[in-house]
């Protein structure tokens, strides 16, 4: 029945981009669906919680570790099929996300180009409803195949069942830990035009002299911009040990956006009107206006030298230190502007919820 023999007390810090945190009580590498199911059976038989580890780029593990069976997903494989003007791409959860984006761009399939350079694996993209520079996964995702931990059976959830919202889904806040994602299927546009919704991308393309950008042009600009902000993991980068953006951009009522504008007494506050009448604000901009600055440190934890939205763990950092610094940032923004910042990462092994 078991089918697996988990390792014990496996350090998780090496598997996470922050590089902090304690061990998993039990740990299994899963390269196929059968191993995932066997691990679920093993955990259920012993009353042990189940946790899923992907690329570790959006995860904060507590210093005491996590009292659970951690499955590290390694399922691989990409399948494609043409449907008229569209191409359907199905990628296993353990595939590199940027590898899938690169493949789509190389083959002229539009829909993912602005999501270039985002670290992590395919399986995480529906959980977070990953998005950047005017695109998000919810726009192209057709379905998700997953193991339902209530039954141990594989199920397929269509886009509607995923409950997508801004940086959110049923997998993150609706029923967290219920589903172990095995693969995701996306519908892309063959020969489609690139998405150009962000002024920052348009300006970068213009600076390169690109007037009629291709998918590859947009990908190149996105990667260049992300690198300039240390938002592409690179060996030797002093800002590499982070979760990328630690907070989501807050979406507030229009009246609150006007109130924040008055409080800042600054022109040019970044703001993006939403379809429901609310306004999205820039979390990094608010953090700096609350008194923080790029490169600011509190011991071994601080802000990125290139982006105020990234919290960086330096040598000697602890998970407790990361969370304490993040709470301080969020508290000061709330005190200054009355705006609550919501963290993007998932937290394991913390007794207190954010």
Just list the catalytic residues: 167, 245, 344
Q: How far apart are CA 315 and CA 156, in angstroms?
A: 42
- Whether 267 and 233 have beta carbons less than 8 Å apart is answered as no
Give the chain's length: 354
- Whether 152 and 44 have beta carbons less than 8 Å apart is answered as yes
H/E segment holding residue 225? helix 215-228
- Whether 103 and 118 have beta carbons less than 8 Å apart is answered as no
- Whether 94 and 122 have beta carbons less than 8 Å apart is answered as yes
Q: How far apart are CA 220 and CA 207, in angstroms?
A: 13
Q: Which of 331, 313, 330 is nearest to 322 (CA)?
A: 313
**Strand pairing partners for 181?**
146
Q: How far apart are CA 49 and CA 70, in angstroms?
A: 9
Sign of CA dihedral 283, 286, 292, 293: positive
What six digits make up the tokens of 146?
Answer: 């997953």
Q: How far apart are CA 51 and CA 71, in angstroms?
A: 6
Alpha helix segments (H runs only) across the chain = 33-46, 97-106, 125-128, 199-207, 215-228, 254-264, 283-289, 319-337
Q: How far apart are CA 2 and CA 4, in angstroms?
A: 5
Q: Which of 270, 305, 308, 271 is nearest to 287 (CA)?
A: 308
Q: How far apart are CA 122 and CA 345, in angstroms?
A: 16
Q: How far apart are CA 133 and CA 113, in angstroms?
A: 10
């Amino acid at each position: 029945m078991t089918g697996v023999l988990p390792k014990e007390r496996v350090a998780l810090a090496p598997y996470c981009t922050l590089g902090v945190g304690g061990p998993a009580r039990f740990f299994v590498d899963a390269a196929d669906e059968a191993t995932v199911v066997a691990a679920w059976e093993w955990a259920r038989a012993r009353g042990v919680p189940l946790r899923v580890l992907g690329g570790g780029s959006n995860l904060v593990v507590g210093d005491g570790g996590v009292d659970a069976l951690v499955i590290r997903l390694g399922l691989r494989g990409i399948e494609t099929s043409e449907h008229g003007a569209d191409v359907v791409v199905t990628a296993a959860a353990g595939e590199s996300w940027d590898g899938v984006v690169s493949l789509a761009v190389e083959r002229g399939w539009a829909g993912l180009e602005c999501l270039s350079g985002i670290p992590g694996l395919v399986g995480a993209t529906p959980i977070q409803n990953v998005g950047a520079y005017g695109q998000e996964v919810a726009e192209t995702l057709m379905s998700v195949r997953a193991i339902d931990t209530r039954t141990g059976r594989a199920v397929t959830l269509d886009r509607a069942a995923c409950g997508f919202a801004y940086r959110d889904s049923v997998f993150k806040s609706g029923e967290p830990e219920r589903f172990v994602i095995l693969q995701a299927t996306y519908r892309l546009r063959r020969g489609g035009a690139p998405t150009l919704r962000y002024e920052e991308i348009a300006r970068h393309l213009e600076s390169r002299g690109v007037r009629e950008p291709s998918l590859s042009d947009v990908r190149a600009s996105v990667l260049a911009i992300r690198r300039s902000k240390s938002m592409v993991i690179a060996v030797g980068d002093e800002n590499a040990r982070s979760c990328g953006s630690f907070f989501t951009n807050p979406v507030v009522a229009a009246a609150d956006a006007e109130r924040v504008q008055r409080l800042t007494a600054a022109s040019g506050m970044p703001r993006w009107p939403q379809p429901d009448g609310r306004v999205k604000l820039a979390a990094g901009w608010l953090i700096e206006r609350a008194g923080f600055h790029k490169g600011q440190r509190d011991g071994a934890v601080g802000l990125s030298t290139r982006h105020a939205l990234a919290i960086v763990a330096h040598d000697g950092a602890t998970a407790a230190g990361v969370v304490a610094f993040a709470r301080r940032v969020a508290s000061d923004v709330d005190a200054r502007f009355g705006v609550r910042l919501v963290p993007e990462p998932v937290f394991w092994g913390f007794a207190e919820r954010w």
